[in-house]
Amino acid sequence: MGDIILKNEQEKIKLTRRDFLKTAAFTALALSIPSGGLKLLESLTESEALSEQAPTSAQPLPAYIATSCGMCGGSCGIKVGILNNKPVAAVPIEGHPQPGLCGRAAMLPWLYDNALRLKKPMKRVGNRGEGSFQEIPWDQALNEIASKLKEIVSKYGYKSIAITYHDCWSSYIPLFTYLFGTPNGIPHVSTCHLAGSAARSQVLGIAGPNLVDPDYENASYLLLIGRSLSTGIMGQVQRARSNSKLRIVVVDPRMPEISFGNAEWIPIIPGTDPAFVLSLINVIIEEGLYDANFLKKYTNAPFLIKQDGKPLTEADVKQGGSSTTYMVYDSSSSSIVPYTSASQPDLNYQGNVTLADGSTASVKTAFLLLKDRASQYSPSNASKITGVDEDTIRRIAREFALYRGVADDTWYAAKNGNEYDAVKGILILNALVGNIDAMGGLVFQESAGIPSIITLVTSGGKTYAKTIYGASMPQEMFADSTQKRVDQLKYKLTLGTFDAVLDAILKDDPYPIRALFVIGTTPILRDMNASKVIEAYKKLDLVVFINVLYQDDADYADYILPDTTFLERDEIFATKWTPHAVVQMTRKVIEPPEDSDPREAVWAMFEIARRAFPERAYALGWKDEYADYSKFESQFVPSVIDAILNSVSSKWNVSKDRIKQELETNGFYLLKRKSYYSRPYKSPVGTPSGRVEIYPLAALASGLDPLPSYSPPAYTLPSAPNEFYLVNSKSPTTSLTATILEPSKFLEDRKVWMNPKDASRLGISDGDAIEIESIDLPGAKVIAEVRVTNRVREGVLYTRAQAGGRRAKKLVAMRHFSTNGVNPEFLAKVSLHPIIGYGATNCSVRIRKL
Amino acid sequence: MKRIFAVTLSLIALIVGLVLGIVGFGRKEVGEIAWGFLVPGYMFFAMTAAGAALVTLAPSLFGYEGRDGELRSLRKLALWFAAGTLIPSWFLILLDLSNPGGFIYIFSGFNPDSRIAWMAALYLTTFVVLIAELIYAIVKESKEAEGVPKKAMGAIILTMIGTVVELMLVSNLSQVFGVIQTFPAWHGSYMVAIFISTSLVLGAAGMGLFGSLVMKGREKERRFITSYYGKMLIAASLALAFLLFWAFLSAYFDPMAWISFKKMLDGSYSIAFWSAAFIGLVISPILAGIALSRKSAASLMASSALSLIFGLTLLYLLIIVPQTTFFEVIPGVVRESTYAIGTAEILIALGGAFIWGALIALGFILLPLLPEERARKLFIFK
Amino acid sequence: MMVRYGFLYDESRCISCYACIVACSSNNYPELMEDPNPNIFWGTMATNIRIVIKEQGRPEQILLSCQHCERPPCVEVCPTGASHVDRSNGFVEIDYDKCIGCKACITACPYNARWIHPIKLKPMKCIGDACKARIAKGEMPFCVEVCPAEARVFGDLDDPNSEINKRIASAKTVKIKEYLGTEPKFYVVRG
Ligand code: SF4
Ligand code: SF4
Ligand code: SF4
Domain ranges of chain B: 11-366
Are A486 and A625 contained in the same domain?
yes
- Report yes or no: B39 at the C interface, CB cutoff 8 Å: no
Residue A109 is nearest to which of C26, C129, C133, comparing CB atoms? C26
Q: Does the C-beta of C142 come closer than 6 Å to ligand 2?
A: yes
pLDDT at A46 over 70: no
Q: What is the mean pLDDT of residues A306-329?
A: 94
Residue C16 is nearest to which of A61, A110, A257, comparing CB atoms? A257
Closest-lying ligand to the alpha carbon of C127?
2
From CA A738, how far away is CA B15, in angstroms rounded? Answer: 51
Does 3.40.50.150 match the CATH number of domain B11-366?
no
Quick: pLDDT tens for A533-590: 999 999 999 999 999 999 999 999 999 999 999 999 999 999 998 999 999 999 999 9
The predicted model scores a pTM of 0.92
Q: Does the C-beta of C126 come closer than 6 Å to ligand 2?
A: yes
Quick: pLDDT tens for B182-222: 999 998 778 899 999 999 999 999 999 999 998 888 888 88
Pocket test for ligand 3, best of C11, C20, C45 (most atoms within 8 A of CB): C20
Q: Note whether A37 contacts B26, CB cutoff 8 Å.
A: yes
Quick: pLDDT tens for A81-102: 999 899 999 999 988 998 888 8
* Residues of chain C found within 8 Å of residue A106, distances taken between Cβ atoms: 18-23, 26, 146
Interface of A with C in 216-235 (CB under 8 A): 229-230, 234-235
C125 Cα to the center of ligand 3, angstroms:
18
Residues with CB under 6 A from ligand 3: C 14-20, 63, 146-149, 151-152
In this structure, the residue with its CA closest to atom 8 of ligand 2 is C24
From CA A106, how far away is CA A95, in angstroms rounded? Answer: 19
What integer pLDDT is reported at residue A234 of this predicted model?
66
Quick: pLDDT tens for A623-680: 999 999 999 999 999 999 999 999 999 999 999 999 999 999 999 999 999 999 999 9
Using an 8 Å CB-CB cutoff, list residues of chain C that contact chain B.
Answer: 39-41, 43, 52-54, 56-57, 60, 62, 64, 73, 75-82, 98-104, 106-112, 116-118, 120-122, 176-177, 180
User: Which chains are within 8 Å of C by 3+ CB pairs?
Assistant: A, B
Instruction: Output the CATH code of domain C24-189.
Output: 3.30.70.20
Q: What is the mean pLDDT of residues B254-258?
A: 91
Are A580 and A490 contained in the same domain?
yes
Q: CB within 8 A of A154, min separation 6: which ones?
A: none
Q: How many residues does chain B have?
A: 382
- Report yes or no: A650 at the B interface, CB cutoff 8 Å: no
Are A608 and A688 contained in the same domain?
no
* Residues of chain B found within 8 Å of residue A36, distances taken between Cβ atoms: 22-27
- Which among A79, A129, A162 has a CA at the least distance from the CA of A585? A79
Task: Kindly indicate the confidence band of residue B139, based on its pLDDT and cuts at 50, 70 and 90.
Answer: confident
Interface of A with B in 40-79 (CB under 8 A): 40, 43-47, 50
Q: Please report, for residues B234, B235, B286, B291, the alpha-carbon distance to residue B230 in angstroms, rounded to integers and kept in the order given.
A: 6, 9, 10, 7
Task: Kindly indicate the confidence band of residue B149, based on its pLDDT and cuts at 50, 70 and 90.
Answer: low
The one-letter code for the residue type at A415 is K
Pocket test for ligand 2, best of C20, C24, C147 (most atoms within 8 A of CB): C24
DSSP string, B223-274: HHHHHHHHHHHHHHHHHHHHHHHHHHHHHHTSHHHHHHHHHHHTSTTHHHHH
Q: Note whether C16 contacts A100, CB cutoff 8 Å.
A: no
Are A152 and A271 contained in the same domain?
no
Q: In this structure, what DSSP letter does residue A789 have? A: -
Are A748 and A831 contained in the same domain?
yes
Domain ranges of chain C: 24-189
- Report yes or no: B147 at the A interface, CB cutoff 8 Å: no
From CA B93, how far away is CA B120, in angstroms rounded? Answer: 10
Q: Please report, for residues A246, A373, A440, A528, the alpha-carbon distance to residue A435 in angstroms, rounded to integers and kept in the order given.
A: 15, 22, 8, 35
Closest-lying ligand to the alpha carbon of C175?
1
What integer pLDDT is reported at residue B189 of this predicted model?
78
Q: Note whether A29 contacts B102, CB cutoff 8 Å.
A: no
What integer pLDDT is reported at residue B364 of this predicted model?
87
- Report yes or no: A1 at the B interface, CB cutoff 8 Å: no
Are A358 and A212 contained in the same domain?
yes
Q: Note whether B100 contacts A10, CB cutoff 8 Å.
A: no
Quick: pLDDT tens for B5-60: 989 999 999 999 999 999 999 999 999 999 999 999 999 999 999 999 999 998 88
Q: Does the C-beta of C143 come closer than 6 Å to ligand 2?
A: yes
From CA A361, how far away is CA A312, in angstroms rounded? Answer: 9
- Report yes or no: B98 at the A interface, CB cutoff 8 Å: yes
Taking the CA of residue A10 and the nearest CA in chain B, the distance in Å comes to: 9
Are A691 and A661 contained in the same domain?
no
Helices first, then strands: H and E counts in chain C: 6, 10
Q: What is the mean pLDDT of residues B251-274?
A: 92
Q: In this structure, what DSSP letter does residue B283 have? A: I
From CA A89, how far away is CA A81, in angstroms rounded? Answer: 5
User: Which chains are within 8 Å of B by 3+ CB pairs?
Assistant: A, C
On whether residue A209 sits in a domain, the answer given is yes
pLDDT at A70 over 60: yes
Mean pLDDT (chain C) is: 94
Q: Which atom of ligand 3 is nearest to the CA of C143?
A: 1
Q: Does the C-beta of C48 come closer than 6 Å to ligand 2?
A: yes
Higher pLDDT, A17 or C86: C86
Instruction: Answer whether B381's CB lies under 8 Å from B365's CB.
Output: no
Q: Note whether C100 contacts B102, CB cutoff 8 Å.
A: yes
- Report yes or no: B298 at the C interface, CB cutoff 8 Å: no
Q: Give the total number of structural domains in chain A.
A: 5
Task: Kindly indicate the confidence band of residue A503, based on its pLDDT and cuts at 50, 70 and 90.
Answer: very high
Q: Which of these ranges, A252-261, B56-65, B75-84, has the smallest mean pLDDT?
A: B56-65
* Residues of chain C found within 8 Å of residue B105, distances taken between Cβ atoms: 79-82, 98, 100
DSSP string, A612-624: H-HHHHHHTT--G
On whether residue A353 sits in a domain, the answer given is yes
Q: Which atom of ligand 2 is nearest to the CA of C24?
A: 7
Task: Kindly indicate the confidence band of residue A746, based on its pLDDT and cuts at 50, 70 and 90.
Answer: very high
Q: ipTM score of the complex?
A: 0.95
pLDDT at A330 over 80: yes
Domain that holds residue A666: 122-191+450-671
Quick: pLDDT tens for B306-358: 999 999 999 999 999 999 999 999 999 999 999 999 999 999 999 999 999 99
Quick: pLDDT tens for A697-737: 999 999 999 999 999 999 999 999 999 999 999 888 898 99
Please calculate the CA angle A135-A138-A139 and round it to the nearest 5 degrees. Answer: 125
Mutate to test the interface with C, among A1, A102, A789 (most CBs of C within 10 A): A102
Instruction: Answer whether A152's CB lies under 8 Å from A146's CB.
Output: no
Share of chain B above pLDDT 90, in %: 74
Mutate to test the interface with A, among C16, C24, C124, C131 (most CBs of A within 10 A): C16
CATH (domain of A766): 2.40.40.20
What integer pLDDT is reported at residue A536 of this predicted model?
97
Quickly count: other Cβ atoms within 10 Å of residue A641's Cβ: 18
What integer pLDDT is reported at residue A32 of this predicted model?
65
Task: Kindly indicate the confidence band of residue B367, based on its pLDDT and cuts at 50, 70 and 90.
Answer: confident
Residue A57 is nearest to which of C43, C119, C133, comparing CB atoms? C133
B201 Cα to the center of ligand 1, angstroms:
37
Instruction: Answer whether A825's CB lies under 8 Å from A841's CB.
Output: yes
From CA A161, how far away is CA A180, in angstroms rounded? Answer: 8
Q: Does the C-beta of C65 come closer than 6 Å to ligand 2?
A: yes
Q: Which residues of C118-132 are buried (b: 16+ CB within 10 A; e: fewer)?
A: bbbbbbbbbbbbbbb
What integer pLDDT is reported at residue A168 of this predicted model?
86
What integer pLDDT is reported at residue B303 of this predicted model?
96
In this structure, the residue with its CA closest to atom 3 of ligand 3 is C14
Q: Which atom of ligand 1 is nearest to the CA of C68?
A: 5
Q: Does the C-beta of C109 come closer than 6 Å to ligand 1?
A: yes
Quickly count: other Cβ atoms within 10 Å of residue A588's Cβ: 18
Which segments within A559-708 are labelled E, that is strand? 559-562, 571-574, 581-586, 668-672
Instruction: Answer whether A248's CB lies under 8 Å from A263's CB.
Output: yes
pLDDT at A19 over 50: no
Q: Note whether B116 contacts C103, CB cutoff 8 Å.
A: no
Instruction: Answer whether B47's CB lies under 8 Å from B311's CB.
Output: yes
pLDDT at A3 over 50: no
What integer pLDDT is reported at residue A124 of this predicted model?
96
